[in-house]
Amino acid sequence: MRLIETYLFRQLLWPTLAAAGALGGVALLSQSLTALDIVVDQRQGALVFAKIILLTMPQLLATVLPIALFVAALAVLNRLHTEQEIVVCFAGGMSRWAVFSPAIRLATYGAILTLMVNLWVQPWSARAMREEIFRIRTELVASLVREGEFTEPAKGLTVYAQGSDQGGILRNVFIYQENASGGSSTLVARRGFFAPNGGKALVLREGSNQAFDSKGVLNYLGFDEYVFDLTPYISKGEDVHYKISDRYLHELIHPDLSQDWERQNQRKMLAEAHYRMSSPLYNFAFVGLALWAVIGGPFSRMGYSRRIARAAIVAGVLRIVGFGVQAACDGAVWLNVLQYALPILAFAGTLFLLFRGPSSRAARDFRQARARTRQVHA
């Protein structure tokens, strides 16, 4: 029997991985649009784009993996049952639990993996992605100059560059600066590049400086090289802010109430903590629904499209209600119990239906025919 259970487990494993990869790819396509906007707006390369995309993958696992298990279990169990392999297992003396256990064991592995990702991998990747996006958006070089566009990277500063080459040399640079004491200055240069001191200065060459003082007097200066200091425009004391999805479990359960933001979002953080711990249970609920859809009724050579459709509807409604309960927990803490109750009750209900009725009408007929054959031979 162990050999048959191993066979059933392998039949379920590879389609689950394939379904998870396919669903994860679809989910990544939607996430890539946001990452693409950031990369294009901030003039980043393909390596940064790939890094942001990879860091979003753990956040999708808690949603994608139960659906992948459900789809793979439906496809594999439907094929095995239609080809009467499940019928032969029952007729050969295997118990219902022995037939169901490979799928439930796979759901257990999926739940453990989802829990590990929710507790450790997702917060780490979300923080790394948040820090990367923060770095991109606060990078002075990327925000200061965009080819062919007038940009305002800071108050009182307008910058324009007609273009740039691969070496980072800017062409036809225009800088308009308002002075704190009043007046303004306009710098025009044929070439420019960021100084090697961390990009805190812009070196302009072959240009001129036209400055109006507070009394409206014009001062004109031509130069071969001029260093424009960017230090006053660099943000100081600005730090990355981690959202609720970026925080570890202990930070969600025990927030720092001395911080106004964490005190105001305490219930949301608690709801997120319970979601992280309860979402792995949907692996069991969805696998149970797949077992019920295919094996929970009489054998049919025509397939089980109606039962599969009902199971799919129940699974969709269950997941939507789960998201609704998570959102409702922001206003009522006691509703967090329902985040665990929904998948547990769904799984318990499918097990009750599976173990209550006959395993399969065809399997029963098969056993009766075998018994009659033994009697004839006896």
Give yes or no: residues 102 and 13 share one domain: yes
Q: What is the 3-state secondary structure (H, E, C) of 195-215?
A: CCCCCCEEEEEEEEEEEECCC
Dihedral sign for Cα 122, 128, 129, 130, please. positive
State how far the Cα of 207 lies from the Cα of 337, in Å rounded to an integer: 69
In a domain, 238, yes or no: no
Give yes or no: residues 361 and 299 share one domain: yes
Ramachandran quadrant class, 271 (left: phi over 0; alpha: psi -120 to 50; beta: rest): alpha
In a domain, 239, yes or no: no
Give yes or no: residues 64 and 128 share one domain: yes
Burial of 57 (0-12, 13-18, 19+ CB in 10 A): middle
The last residue of a domain, from among 233, 255, 272: 233
Give yes or no: residues 26 and 83 share one domain: yes
In a domain, 240, yes or no: no
Global confidence as pTM: 0.76
The sheet that has 218-229: what strands, in order across it?
Answer: 151-154, 157-164, 170-178, 184-194, 201-212, 218-229
Give yes or no: residues 330 and 259 share one domain: yes
Phi, psi angles (nearest 5°) of residue 303: 100, -175
State how far the Cα of 162 lies from the Cα of 313, in Å rounded to an integer: 56
Instruction: State which residues form the domain around 319.
Output: 2-137+247-377
Give yes or no: residues 264 and 207 share one domain: no
| Of 124, 123, 113, nearest in space to 16 by CA | 113
The last residue of a domain, from among 233, 267, 287: 233
**Total count of domains within the chain:** 2
In a domain, 284, yes or no: yes
**Which pLDDT tens digits describe the chain residue by residue (378 residues)?**
588 899 999 999 999 999 999 988 888 787 777 677 666 666 566 787 888 888 888 888 888 999 999 999 999 998 888 888 888 888 888 888 999 999 999 999 999 999 999 999 999 999 998 888 777 766 655 566 777 888 887 778 888 988 877 667 888 999 998 887 778 889 999 998 887 755 578 889 999 999 887 777 888 889 999 988 877 776 555 567 889 999 999 999 999 988 899 999 999 999 999 999 999 999 999 999 999 998 887 766 666 788 899 999 999 999 999 999 999 998 899 999 999 999 999 999 999 998 875 544 545 555 555 565 566 555
In a domain, 65, yes or no: yes
In a domain, 242, yes or no: no
In a domain, 276, yes or no: yes
State how far the Cα of 176 lies from the Cα of 188, in Å rounded to an integer: 9
